[in-house]
Chain A
Amino acid sequence: MSSQTASPAATRRHRSANEKHAHAITRRNTRNGLLFIAPNFLGFIFLTLIPVIALFFIAFSRWSAFGMPQFNGLTNWKRLGGDKVFWAAFGNTFYYSLVHIPLTLIVAFLLAILLNSKLKGRTFFRTVAFFPYITSIVAAAQVWSMLFDARSGVINQFLRLFTSHVPGWLGSTQWAMVAVIIVATWREAGYYMILLLAGLQTIPHTLYEAAELDGANAWQRFWHVTVPSMRPTLFFVMVTLTIGSFKILDLTLVMTDGGPGTSTLVLAQYIYRVAFEQGDFGYSSTVSLVLFAICMIVTLIQFYYNRSKED
């Protein structure tokens, strides 16, 4: 009620207000706005912004466990070029991401479409599918390591029903990353399913009916109605999923510790290893900057692609 009577009054006051008054309002608003933002923003500056900016200096420095960083130009970067372990981690991170991103997206999308139908029990299923996402990484990694046990784990006992050539999973350089990807997809699909489901539910039903009247089949309806209507949701999901994949760390750390050999060593774990196991914080920051750059570049590409599609 009060809002209806206040609105015209507000506009009248604005019109009669002189410039000095307007300045006072801007000043007051700026002060109030900054006061509200301050508690979070101060924390944000000290814990995120400054460390990110510092990264650009430390990445070009020598810095052991003690003392201050010493600028050493491109020395770290030359070392990076010839560092076989770094390139292994670099390759593994891309391998993980390039399989995990499409796989999770497809699974999550399929589940979201299932949940958007009228199947009975779908609300129960939605709750169940979300469980893995809230399970701690340590417990999840532990139970999956035991399920993946090459000799007597549940998975290989099941596979032996069909074939005698079962994978060695976590003990094999070839299969360890596959196991990590399966667990990651199991863990995250439910989360992206919820995001995609929310997007699906905003599409008006009439769009599908119009398409159906025009003779579009289910596949055409998916590509020409569902996907374009969900562009904002898909953009958000892709950005989150991509960054989440490139920064993968705790799952491999707990499940395989990067092994066997360097077969599941990813960039983020190499950062951790160089810093906390070798005490080389300068070089570790150089690798950090590479990870930072990858995430930025990939996000920018997605941003511009999304914008070109919107026009």
Chain B
Amino acid sequence: MSNVMDSSSVIAAASAKTAVIDKKAYDAIPLNKRHTTWQRVVGIILGYILMIAAAIFVMLPFVWMLLSSVKPNNEVFAVPIKWLPSVWHWENYANIWSKSNMLLWTGNTLLLSVVVTFLQVFTGSFAAYGFSKIRFPGRQALFLTYIATMAVPWQAYMIPQFKMLSAIGLSDTRWSIILLQAFGAFGVFMMKQFYDSIPEELSEAARLDGLSEFGIYWRIVLPLSGPSISALAIITFTNTWNDYMGPLIYLRSPNLYTIQLGLKQFISQYNADYAMIMTGSVLSVLPILIVFLIGQKYFIEGIATSGMKD
């Protein structure tokens, strides 16, 4: 859990540090010392109760999903609830691979997610550099256009977009999903937030030393932006992995199905095989859960900074 502690302190950064010092100075004066009143104790107890209740509410579906995936089928909906299976059917996790095309779907999704993540990080960080570090007329207006379209939901223009991509023959190809996800404004916005915090003098000095703009981006700004790049990469990867509507609209051929489409089809095909459905659900969530646990520091920081106005 130590890395979790790190990230929270990074977010709090300067403010937390000054707060600690202030608090110490404050407590040093005897008369200012806070007394543990009964209201404070009740508050703390209430806080713990609330936190534990919320944690149970959040976790329950996951626990139930996992336990149901290894139950005998007739115990999934048993009355009264049987939390633990009478026999643990771990073989569900072996059988599902032959019952479904899980391997193909996972492979397709992995391919799309990796390509999209690479393109989004590349185009996003590139454009963010242009918006943040190069002064030119119209820069502000262009950036405002980006921001404005972030308020337009994809659902509102998915129809014209679908007809356009179909007209040039891209529907039912992997290209459609790649194009759909790779040029998001979110990446530009997030990377620009970060680049704006890099001192102007740094790129200015490099410019005087005769480094080209690309040189500055490649040798100075990019090496500094490891954490933001990681954050953008993890967020993009997760979004692409979990996307359901894009593949639903664009992909028709079963051999192109992503894990979300495949799982949905599997659910309607084996609609009474509850344990197996839960096995598939666990398998669709697991990879992203692992990615999140490894990269959560970047993930959460990235989300947090994208929401902060400079």
Contact = CB atoms under 8 A, between A and B. Distances in A.
Given A136-B242, A139-B284, A36 B213 contact: yes
B134 to A, nearest CB: 4
Interface residues of B, number: 114
A258 interface: no
Contacts of B224: none
B190 interface: no
B288 A198 contact: no
B253 to A, nearest CB: 16
A299 interface: yes
Given A47-B161, A49-B149, A136-B244, A6 B307 contact: no
B209 A2 contact: yes
B122 interface: yes
Contact of A194 (B58, B158, B300): B300
A136 B11 contact: no
Interface string B128-156: 01110011111100100110010111111
Contacts of A254: 244, 264
A33 B47 contact: no
Contact of B51 (A46, A121, A151): A121
Interface stretch (B60-68, B84-92, B95-103, B225-233): B60-68
B33 interface: no
Interface in A156-212: 157, 186, 190-191, 194-195, 197-199, 201-206, 209
Nearest to A42: B183
B301 to A, nearest CB: 9
B234 to A, nearest CB: 10
Given A39-B122, A209-B26, A6 B289 contact: no
B153 A142 contact: no
A1 B15 CA distance: 27
Nearest to A3: B201
B127 A201 contact: no
A6 B288 contact: no
A136 B202 contact: no
B21 to A, nearest CB: 10
A296 B151 contact: yes
Contacts of B38: none
A122 to B, nearest CB: 7
Interface in A67-116: 110-111, 114
B126 to A, nearest CB: 5
A124 interface: yes
Nearest to A137: B244
A261 interface: no
Given A48-B157, A237-B307, A250 B61 contact: no
A253 to B, nearest CB: 8
B173 interface: no
B157 A114 contact: no
B217 interface: yes
Contacts of B274: 146
B129, B183, B274 — which one has the most chain A CB atoms within 10 A of its CB? B183
A308 interface: no
B153 A295 contact: yes
Nearest to A27: B136
A131 B58 contact: yes
Interface string A143-160: 110110101111001000
B contact face: mostly helix, strand, loop, or mixed: helix
Interface string B39-50: 000001001101
A3 B204 contact: yes
B129 A250 contact: no
A86 B96 CA distance: 41
B55 to A, nearest CB: 5
Interface string A16-49: 0000000000100110111111011101101111
Nearest to B62: A131
Interface in A276-292: 276, 281, 284-285, 288-289, 291-292
Chain A to chain B: the 6 pairs with minimum beta-carbon distance, closest first = A43-B183, A36-B130, A247-B153, A198-B304, A3-B201, A205-B19
Interface of A: 2-4, 6-7, 9-10, 26, 29-30, 32-37, 39-41, 43-44, 46-52, 54-55, 58, 63, 110-111, 114, 117, 119, 121-132, 134-140, 142-144, 146-147, 149, 151-154, 157, 186, 190-191, 194-195, 197-199, 201-206, 209, 232-233, 235-237, 239-240, 243, 246-247, 249-250, 253-254, 268, 271-272, 275-276, 281, 284-285, 288-289, 291-292, 295-296, 299
Interface of B: 1, 4-5, 8, 11-12, 15-16, 18-19, 22-23, 26, 44, 47-48, 50-51, 54-55, 57-62, 64-65, 68, 76-81, 122-124, 126-127, 129-131, 134-139, 142, 145-146, 149, 151-164, 179-180, 182-183, 185, 187-188, 199, 201-202, 204-205, 208-209, 213, 217, 238, 241-242, 244-245, 249, 259-260, 263-264, 267, 274, 277-278, 281-282, 284-285, 288-289, 292-293, 296, 299-300, 303-305, 307-309
Given A33-B134, A111-B54, 11 more contacts: A3-B202, A26-B137, A30-B138, A33-B130, A48-B183, A51-B157, A58-B160, A129-B54, A131-B292, A201-B15, A271-B158
